[in-house]
Structure formats: structure tokens, C-alpha cells
Amino acid sequence: MGLSHVYDGNPEEAARWFAQAVELNSSSYIPSYLAATLEEGGVADANTRHTLLRQATALNPRFAPAYLERARLHANASEFDEAVTLARKAIELDTTSEASWIMLGQILLREGDPESARTVGERGLTWAASAAAKAGLTSFLE
């Protein structure tokens, strides 16, 4: 039901459904991930988002987007070591994820390591699976 509300443009109702699924101890990682990442009407508290994303990765340790979102949260909190580890895990699970390569590069830039950031962007470019991904990584490198 939550996804139907997302598609209908009702994020508040979607968030309510995802939260309910999480409270009922859903065995699916999807409600936890979506509850944590739903922008409008979603979870605003970073600690709750961390908890939900950790739950999503525990339920499906091969779901790269949850690691990417965890990396983003840690980077936003200037917890760069953990952010780098999580971004690398996202890349390990999905080498074609333009967003993961860019996130890792941005974290390295924020750490003051532009050389490593460039290397990451160039490596990501070799894995890019679409013209759009190549364009995004090229833009990051410029």
C-alpha cells in the first residue's frame, strides 16, 4: 500500500504505511529502506533513519542502495571513515552505481583528498553501464 501512495503523490500516507510495516516487524527490507529515504512526509530524525537503514541492510545485506544512504547520512554528519566504508560496500555490491562512485568521490573531496576522489571517479567511469551514468561521472570529474 505504501508504494501506491508514493506513486499517487501522497508521501505522508506512504510514510504512515511504511512505518506500520516496520512496526509489524516486516521480514522485507523494503519498508525500512523506503521509510528512511522517503523525502516528504518521511522520517526526519537522522538517528531513526540510521536505525531503519541498518535494519534494511540486516534484512538484505546485498541491497546496495541502503549502504549508499547510510554512507550519505554518515558523510552529512562528517563521519567520513564510516561513510567511506559504507560507500565502498555499496560499490562492491553494485559496481555500476554512478551514485555510489560519486558519493565516495565527494566524501574523499570533503576529507581533502582530491587525488583519490579523481581516481574513484575515473574507476567509476570504467564501470558506468549507461550514457547517463557516464555523463554523471564525467560531470563529477570536471
The pLDDT assigned to 111 comes to: 95
The pLDDT assigned to 23 comes to: 59
Spell out, as residue ranges, where the chain has pLDDT lower than 50: 1-3, 5-7, 40-41
The pLDDT assigned to 48 comes to: 83
The pLDDT assigned to 7 comes to: 43
Superfamily name and number for 63-142:
Tetratricopeptide repeat domain (1.25.40.10)
The pLDDT assigned to 124 comes to: 96
Question: Which one-letter amino acid corresponds to residue 75?
Answer: A
The Cβ-side half-sphere exposure at 71, using a 13 Å CA radius, reads 24
The pLDDT assigned to 107 comes to: 98
The pLDDT assigned to 46 comes to: 83
The pLDDT assigned to 37 comes to: 81
Q: Are 62 and 49 in contact (CB under 8 A)?
A: no
Question: Which one-letter amino acid corresponds to residue 30?
Answer: I
Supply the pTM of this predicted model.
0.84
Task: Return d(Cα 24, Cα 35) in angstroms, integer.
Answer: 13
CATH 1.25.40.10 intervals, the chain:
63-142
